[in-house]
Chains A and B, each alone.
Chain A
Amino acid sequence: MNPVSLTGPVALSLIIAVILQLVPVSGDWILWRPNFLMLMMIAWILYQPNRFGIGFAALVGLLADTLFRTALGHYVLVFALCGGIAYLLSRWLTYFSNFHRAVLIFMLVVFSELIQAFLFSIWDVTMGFQHVPILGFISAVVWLFVDKLVASLNFIYR
């Protein structure tokens, strides 16, 4: 049986993520804004691990690189590693509660910030860590909505 095409819902969810990412904010909110593209990428991997894996994560990372104007490959690596962890844990995460998934998101956000700090250090750019706990917390809260959105899209198009 041919699986239903998910191109439309995935493209729609990524466009929503890009728009949310581009909304101008000021002050510390710039540091605390969640990476919506990463959250959306993780959600699709968790809901459709048979269709979306590390290759998908790398492609979304490439999109993030062009959007964030970082060196091409920067977010490819970050997203591939975070997406890879989500992919490896996807079978177990199906049985996890929303709270436990949010905790995983918090840890993935911290992990992604550590990788980014390492990559920036290669280019001699120092990155602060004071914002990371708040960023992780906000990302975990936002995740609950992203999870609901992708679950709904997944339900409609299953």
Chain B
Amino acid sequence: MKNVFAKSSSPLRKIFLVSLFAFGLMALQNNTSWLSPIYHVADNVVRPLYWITNIPARVQEWGEINVTSRTVIEQENVRLKQESLIHLGQLQRMSELAAENLRLRQLLNATELLMDSVLVTEVIGVSPSPQSHTVTVDRGSDDGVYVGQPILDAEGLMGQIISVYGGHSVALLITDSTHALPVQVLRNGVRSIAEGTSDYNRMTLRFVSPTSDIVEGDQLVSSGLGRRFPSGYPVGTVVSISQKPGDTFVDVEVDPSAQLDRSRHLLLVFTSKDGSIDRNGR
């Protein structure tokens, strides 16, 4: 290797010049989209490495499948069958309620509800930075994934797709500090905006008036405003409400419903107006 990085000028001068260059890059990035293709190239280059980084998880999965005793598998099978039966029962009740809701909406001449279909996907990579909350999933444009598509886990809303490639996509999680989504309180329909805080276990509601009817323990669901996220998906639970002296608004902290730093299998939501399944296999 050539001595390209050897000291040729004063180190302090070099540090100063590199710092100027770094601030210039940040300003350029903040004001233009010229540097965005660099991230696309980097995502494609890094993707094969996810295969290596996922080896511990795959070994664990293999162990769970092959090392677990027959008795434990049989017990789990029985438990899953029972859970499936309970869920099917609940689904029947939901179908009945959905049909009733549709009839009432037709009576009121209200807009029809959007029905959703989903595609199962697996997390193959997570952002290594504690401040940037993104995950890489193993579905891309080949599967019909699009930018802005909502993503869920078994517990609630996780985020939305921000970059799509052929065989994989990158999703921004709802706890990222650059993310905000419209929510409403399940109990009374009070609307607000939930923002990320760069903490996987916390979101905040901003600009909430002290007179708003929000209390600790309230469940928040997506409101559907903005038409980015479908309505009715669980977002989180209000865990604390406080007001600093002199502040106009109260600070509302929310514990996200989704297991943002743990879930491995997720659902990509495809919304269609008539509720038909818009892709084969979903």
Contacts and interface: CB of A to CB of B under 8 A. Distances in A.
A87 B199 CA distance: 34
A50 B130 contact: no
Contacts of A53: 5-7, 11, 14
A69 B53 contact: no
A128 B177 CA distance: 13
Nearest to A10: B1
Q: Is chain A's interface secondary structure helix, strand, loop, or mixed overall?
A: helix
B22 A58 contact: yes
Interface residues of B, number: 52
Interface of A: 3, 5-7, 10, 15, 18-19, 21-24, 26-27, 30-31, 33, 49-58, 61, 66-74, 76-77, 80-81, 84, 87-88, 116, 119-120, 123, 125-128, 131
Interface stretch (B38-46, B75-83, B142-150, B212-220): B38-46
A51 B4 CA distance: 7
B260 to A, nearest CB: 9
A22 B50 contact: yes
Given A74-B26, A77-B19, A125-B198, 15 more contacts: A18-B49, A53-B5, A55-B18, A61-B22, A66-B42, A67-B46, A67-B128, A68-B127, A71-B29, A71-B30, A72-B25, A73-B21, A73-B25, A80-B15, A88-B11
Given A53-B6, A55-B5, A73-B24, A22 B46 contact: yes
Given A53-B14, A69-B132, A6 B1 contact: yes
Contact of A22 (B14, B49, B131): B49
A34 to B, nearest CB: 11
Contacts of A71: 25-26, 29-30
Nearest to B201: A27
Contacts of A7: 1
30 contacts: A6-B1, A7-B1, A10-B1, A30-B130, A50-B6, A51-B5, A53-B7, A57-B18, A58-B18, A58-B22, A66-B38, A68-B131, A69-B39, A70-B131, A71-B30, A72-B25, A72-B29, A72-B35, A72-B38, A74-B22, A77-B19, A84-B12, A87-B7, A87-B11, A88-B11, A116-B131, A125-B198, A126-B177, A126-B198, A131-B130
B125 interface: yes
Interface string B105-137: 000000000000000000101111111101000
Contact of B11 (A6, A54, A61): A54
A11 B130 CA distance: 25
Interface of B: 1, 3-7, 11-12, 14-15, 18-19, 21-26, 28-30, 35, 38-39, 41-42, 46, 49-50, 52-54, 56-57, 123, 125-132, 134, 177-178, 197-200, 261-262
A26 B15 contact: no
Contacts of B15: 54, 80-81, 84
A21 B46 CA distance: 11
Nearest to A52: B5
Given A70-B132, A77-B23, A54 B6 contact: no
Nearest to B162: A69
A61 to B, nearest CB: 8
